[in-house]
Structures are given as structure tokens and as C-alpha cells.
Structure 1
């Protein structure tokens, strides 16, 4: 196996030279390249596949943005950087408070920048609960803003900004616009090029890469440094199994074919610190339709374990931790419907005339589900849920028989996932080592870095494209100013 970090003295010759090398042409890489080029840099992007776009182009095109964007204001929602910061640090953790504060403070300006590049966002609001849209509404709720206790810490407002393109992959419209702007700015690119080593000079600075191109190793010099924007490791089953103990054979990865962790491994070999490598967002949503949120979710022991109005990634995170990873969605006749996301493969167990009959069929302890249902119904009649503080919008007694149970178990349904762990960066998108010291010349952004939400329980849709695009821009500017 070739070394992942080599000395500049070992380089036989450089085949190309630039100011900044960007590895990966997804949203983080494109934003880094564009900002660096506009700062006067000669920028070269090396992309492993045959075209730019990456996993970003395959995505649902949702950016998590707030603080009072033009879309939020047009749809009648009042937000602020402080309100957004309070929610994010409460729900996603305060370990990276400085990084979160910077992201929130710059969000409105970042949204304006994205629109200026030609990424379209419609001034319209999708009111229903959704995981993604096939229509063009520009704003939807995509996180745990209304979930207790977060709704008491910060005013709940929707922050999912979706690119205005119909279909399953609106992210492609964002990437087409950004790559077009990069071309106009003079960004150079080379596709079908796989980086396999970083080059370090005599002073310890990352100053280039070795890459496999047309069957040969080629060497590229970067005077200002290297930006890693290579994606996560969802497609690397060995890495996933090593870091994620809840992994099940029924789980399916999301992302591009080259989301294999190679950039994380390169950065680690250079001394980069990694964090949250066990962090995963896994989803097999019970909604839409939203009426199913009025049901209850129980484990194999007949006990509730999470507020059902949680974001689908939060629900999935808790289901993965239940005994035998088993969970069931229980509904009554008044709200019965089939989950609409067919890829989740949630199976209807059966319909039942009594809760006792359902309890027996699901092989739960005698009386457990009956007690759970009775307690839930008693409080729901008073619009209350003292156990998990489920929002009143989704509370109703489940007392209209017959009843039905859907199997939503982690090892039976199909949970789609992306990884959240990666290289640790500072507020300037510089990769840091185990002591928190900056590795000279090495920057990173996007899914190869540690996400702000380090767990699926705190993730919100758009927390990949939002921070990925923002810190990509930061990386490009910082590299050129350093």
C-alpha cells in the first residue's frame, strides 16, 4: 500500500501547479473553488468521477438556513441569528458553539450569496410534514424545532430551504449553477482523477497531492494549500461497520459512489483529528401522511420511548437503540393510513379488534401495551403528554377501534443513512490535529468533516448542504488570505 502522506523530496516531478487544490467537486468543493478564484487564485479541482456534482447533485436540495432569510420573511416567519443559535446549540450540542455562532451570524448573507449564484428558491411555504418535496415550495420544517424542550428554548421556525426544481434531485440545479459560476471564474478541473496521497514540504505544510490519472501517478503542487471536500463514508461498509454499532443488514447508504471515506483517511494520515465517527442519520420516516404522527411508537416491550412528532432522523436514532431494534407504530381507525415513503418498507402487521389482541400478536408482555395505551389516551384527552411532551398539534386519544400496527423495526424496515463524522475543522475551515493545532495548508469542508449535528437524533435536513456550502466558501477565502 502506498503512503497516504509523502515528502516533497519524494516527488519526481510536478505535472501541474496552482494556488489552491480542491479535492472533490460537490457543493463544498465548488463553493471553495469559486471563492478562491474570485479572490484571485489559480484554482484546480480534482474530481474522482467523470463529472462534477457529487452526492450534492443527487440530494433533495435542502439547505438548513435561517436568521431571517428573504424566503422566511416572504412566508411570514420571524427568525434571528440568536434564535437559530439557541436552537442549534440546544438540540445539536454546544461543543462547537463558536463555529455554530459564526454559521448563524452569516446565514442571511450566505442565503443571498447562494441566490446570487443562480440557485433558485421559491417564496412559498410547505405546511405539511414532509421528508422531501417533489414540488417547488421554498420553505419547509426539517428538524426538531417544535420538539420539547427545544420549542421552549428557541422560537420554532422552519429553516429548510429547498431549491426550486421539481423531482427527486433538486440538488442538481444547485450544482449546475455553481459549476457554471466556477467555469466563468476560471476554475480549472480534472475529472476521473483519484487523489491517493497528500504532499508535505520540509516545514510541515501540505503543499500538494499525488493522484491516479489515466493509469499513472501524477503530482500536483498547491502553493496556498489543499481543500478536502471528498464526502462522507456511507459507501464504505468496512468503515461503517467499524464505527456504527447499530448497523443492520437492512440499512442502505445514501450518497455518491465515491462517498467512501478516502478523504477522511488522507486527512487523518496527515495528523487530522476525527470526531463523531459513530454519528449517523438513518431514516425510514413514518410520515407523510402527517396524521400518522398522532399514533404512538412502542418497542417490543410495549413502551413508548420518544415523542412521535420528532424529526424522522431522531425517531430512527432512538429505534436503533431499542431491545432487538424492534419498534411498532400503533394507530386507530380514525388516523389509519399507509406510510407514503415506499422505500422505507414499513409492513402492516394486521388490524385488531382489541388492544389486548394486538399485544398478544406482537408478543409483548401481558398488559404492557394496554397500560401504555390507557395512560396515553387518558392524558391525550386533556391535550397533554407528560411522558414525552408531544406537541398538542399531534395529540389525540387512540380510542377509535379497530387498531393497526406497522412494523418499523430497525432490522426489518429499510433505513437509509448518511455518516456524520469526519475531520475536525476550526472556524476558518482549517483541519486541526489531536491537540487542536492547525495543520498548515490543509483545509476541509462538507461531509468529510464532522457535521454540526453529530447524531441522527439532532440532525435536520439541510445540515449537509447548508454548512457544507458555507464552510466551503470559508475554506476558499481563508486559503487565499493566509
Structure 2
């Protein structure tokens, strides 16, 4: 699939026109979090499921932090001593989700949150109730329940009672692998067939636009090409965060292998096809077209997040939405001391509450401030920050950017005037921003942006430091993911055409589609939406099959 633009479907007069190599009830295209949950749900309801994945399966889910956003009074919230309700969860998420989905869908998502967590546990996923003592972007292996968004930020807490809803999967390190492994095992136990290193390049449709199946290209299992493909995939994923240019060259080699060594297969999906192959952040052409202001960010995801599933849907006449929605993650906590400083724009003006969630800060930075974010600290906060990122206190991926930026990206001065000039900022604007901020910290005025009193710091005393944490920073790359995709029916997960009508036999889930997480990102919300939307699509398809079977039986009885 060299170019996704102008991708065309294979059209036939009927399914009988082709010699199919394989058959199933539900064909899952992309076996990550959404695909695995859909496969389990469908198989548990009696459908024959075949899942295809261009790589080994897992997708961005397996590389993630394994955080599932859940609330409404989960067992782990109660064990930790926190009260929560689906109404409070809804009221908070309404602020983050915006118009991405209807209120009815969001309410259904919230009211089913506890059941969804219990469903994950039945598949073998483990959670725990330990809560870290301070706000963090991602907790250490000691903690597995945390405030993973803006819940405790005063402006949000005034609308919805806060509670920790980030349920991190129990497991060492980044817990995504610990989340996906039991899902995969459960799918296989339920009889799901998994075919890896198999790429879907075209949908097969009949003359009435009914999706019949797919044209897939599969590397022969055990072949030299398959082994080399697996190695290149692993290497590209491993080095992407550190040397993305080299990772891109490995991906190009991987693509050449697929083009020269894969074998064609036609697979009949008797009941439906589910597209769940992720977003499109690695499709730089699409990012340039839909959200060019995010091109300087560091793509976060896997090689498969290239929009292939979205393009397949478009080839069948599906419409897309919210393609301009990209999430930029500018996390400045840990260290907590950084979040106690103040952030200014290119005009030296403070523009946000620095304790907000990293994706909210990133959104303001890119969408409202032309990508600029300069963090102002004084010596006391710098020393506090160094203590907070000491050995054993935070993850290496959290510690390293802090040390690098303090060593090589910090402008220091005993004079606010000289600091402003060194940073190219208006002197009076910066001085006023710092003075007003410090007055709020001393309780002399109310903070303009409603920052918690405990998070304010009096920084009237220098020396001062300025760290340029802007979007295009090379020493502090800003991860980005896409949030838009195919438009789907919010009741069924069926993909919609340009007239808003469902396309027969075609579903979509996860970041392949518009969903609960398609507005502003919150840690754990995307994975929770993958689980929710994957199960929703599979349940609808199974219900439709059961209804057809019942009607068929009634007709036979009446003969």
C-alpha cells in the first residue's frame, strides 16, 4: 500500500465471482487493543473470527502505558478510599470530550465503565489500588491508580468531583504489554484465528456497496522474508524515540520486503469487516494536509499508524471527521517543581495554569501560542527539581529530558532584564508576569489562571532560569498522536458514508474511527475507548447475526 491517496476497492458483481482462499464471520483488520477486544466479544458470542495484523499484533496498545480510564466507583477507587460516580465521571469528561461524541454515547461510556473494567479482569488483566502521593504524568511501579487528567485542577474540580480514574495495568515498566498479552491470550482461547505479517490492501465490495471481504498480502510463515520483516519491525519500534530518521529508513526496507515477498489472499467475511488498525500519525502527507502545525512533533505509535485502515474505509465511500485533531504532549511534571514555575509565550506573557495535564498544555501551546512555551524557574525550584528526579524516584524517560534541558537548554541570569534579552522576550512583559505570579503565590492577589495555591511558588528571588520547551524543541521532543478517523454510527460502530448512512458489512473502532477520545486527550481515555468501541461493534454484529438466524428459523417453521 505505497500511497493511501486514491485507494480503490476491488468491486465484483457478487461474492460467487471470486475464489476465496479463506472465510470467517468477522474479519478484524488490525489486532491491537480495539481489534483484540472486538475479536473476544465476537468469538464469545459464537462468531468465527479471523484477525489480521501487518506485524505481530499489539499495535500502539502494547507500546503504551497500559492505562485504562475508568470510574464510577471501581473496586480500586473504593479500596483507595475515593468516592466516584458515573455522573461525576460524565461531568468531567464532557469538558474534555466536547462534541466528539453525543452526550448519550458519553453517558453510556461512563455508566458502563465499571463493567468494562470487570470484563478486562475476566480476560486476565490485573489492576491495583495504590495511589502516588503527588500528581505525575506516569506513576512508578509502586503505583497503579492515579489522576491521569485534569480531574483535580481547580477549574475542572469545580464542575465535577475529582477522583483518580487512571487505572494502570499491573505490570513492570510501561504496562501496555501487560495489558495486551492477556487480551491476546483470551482471544486465542476463544478460538480467534490470528494471522500476523498480513496486510490488507483492498476491500472487496459488490455492486450495492456491500463489503464482502478483503484482498490481503501475507508473508509466508517461517520464510526468510518473514524473519527479516519481524527484525526490522522490532528495531524500528525500539529506536524510533531516539533516532527517528534511522527508524524511517528501516520502515522503508520493511515496505520493500512486503512488496516483493508477500503473497495474495482473498478472504471472505460472511458477516462483516472491522477496521481497527490505528491512527495516521506516521502518514506525514496526511498530517501536512490536515494538521500541518503538528508536523514538528515526534510521532508516537507504531509503524502501522499510517492511516491504512482509514484509507480502506474511504475506498468504500466512508466519510472522515476530526482529522485536524492531533494531541501534543507537553508534560512538565515530574518534576513537580517545574509545574510550580510559570510558562510564558513569545511575548513574555503567562497563558496557562501550569498544573494542567500535559496534553491540555500541549494543545494551548500549539493551537493558541504558535508552539511557544518558555518555562521560568528560580534557583530554589531548579534545586528542588533535581532532587525530585533523583535515582529511583522517576522513570528514566522522565529523568533524562529534565537533566538534558537543565544542562543544555537553560538560560540563567541574576537579572530579569538580562534573562529576557537573552531569550528574546519583552523585558517589561516578562517582569510583570513573574511579579504577578509571585504576588499570587504570596496570597496578595488571586491567580489569574486559577492555579492551586500549593502549586504556586514565589520566585521573586533569583537567579532565574528560562527553559525553552516549545513545540519544536530538539532537546525536549513533543510526542503527538492523531485523534480523527472514520465516522461511525455511535450505536453500532458501523462506518457511515457521506450521506450518514451505514455501509453494509463494515465497522471501525479505536483510533481508526472517531470516538470518545477524538477531542482532547486524557491518559487512559484512548485505550478505554478502544475497548468500548471494539466491543460495541462486535456486539452489534453478533446481535444482527442472531436476528438473521431467528428470522431464518421462523421462515423455515412457516413453510
1:440-459 mapped onto 2 (5 Å cutoff): 440-455=504-519, 458-459=520-521
Q: How far off is 1:469 after superposition?
A: 1.1
Query: Does the 8 Å contact 2:287/2:295 carry over to 1?
Result: no
- Are the counterparts in 2 of residues 248 and 410 from structure 1 also a CA contact under 8 Å? no
The 1-side partners of 2:515 and 2:215 are apart by 27
Matched, 1:70 2:75: yes
Give the structure 2 partner of residue 439 of structure 1.
503
Q: Which of the pair has more CA radius of gyration?
A: 2
- Alignment match of 1:422 (pick from 472, 476, 485): 485
- Verify the 8 A CA contact 1:383 1:395 in the aligned structure 2: no
Question: Any conservation in 2 of the 1:71–1:122 contact (CA below 8 Å)?
Answer: yes
User: Could you give the per-residue CA deviations for residues 205-263 of structure 1, whole angstroms, max 9, x where no partner exists?
Assistant: 222111112433211111110111101111111111211121244x2111111111000
**Cross-structure match for 1:232:** 279
**Whole-angstrom distance in 1 between the partners of 2:144 and 2:28:** 30
Structure 2 residue aligned with 1:4: 8
Which residue does the alignment assign to 1:473? 535
| TM-score of the superposed pair, with normalisation by structure 2 | 0.81
Unaligned runs of 5+ in 1: none
Correspondence for 2:429: 368
Alpha-carbon contact 1:273-1:433 (below 8 Å) kept: yes
What is the CA–CA distance in structure 1 between the aligned matches of 2:496 and 2:148, rounded to whole Å?
A: 31
Structure 1 residue 179: Cα displacement? 0.9
The DSSP-based 3-state class of the residue aligned with 1:411 is coil
For the aligned residue pairs, the C-alpha RMSD in angstroms reads 2.0
What is the distance in 2 between the residues matched to 1:91 and 1:151? Answer: 13
- 8 Å contact from structure 1 (residues 120, 164) kept in 2: yes
1:132 equivalent among 138, 147, 161: 138
- Taking a change above 3 Å as real, the CA distance of residues 418 and 19 of structure 1, as seen in their structure-2 partners, is same
Deviations 1:259-303 (A, max 9, x none): 110000111222222111111111232110112111100011110
TM-score normalized by the length of structure 1: 0.94
| SS in structure 2 at match of 1:304 | coil
Which residue does the alignment assign to 2:556? Answer: none
Distance 1:179 1:356 in 2: 59
State whether structure 2 residue 112 is matched by structure 1 residue 103. no
Name the structure with the higher helix share.
2
**Aligned residue number for residue 301 of structure 1:** 347
SS at 1:55's partner residue? helix
CA positional deviation for 1:389: 1.1
Change (3 A) 1:95 1:182: closer
Deviation for aligned residue 1:480 = 1.3
Give the secondary-structure state (helix, strand or coil) at the position aligned to 1:222: strand
**CA offset at residue 358 of structure 1?**
1.4
Encode CA deviations 1:173-230: one digit per residue, 9 max, x unaligned: 1111011111111111211111011122344322211111243321111111011110
Q: 1:148 to 1:453 in 2, by over 3 A?
A: farther
1:404 is aligned to 2:451:
no
Alignment of 1:42-191 (within 5 A): 42-49=48-55, 51-96=56-101, 97-167=103-173, 169-191=174-196
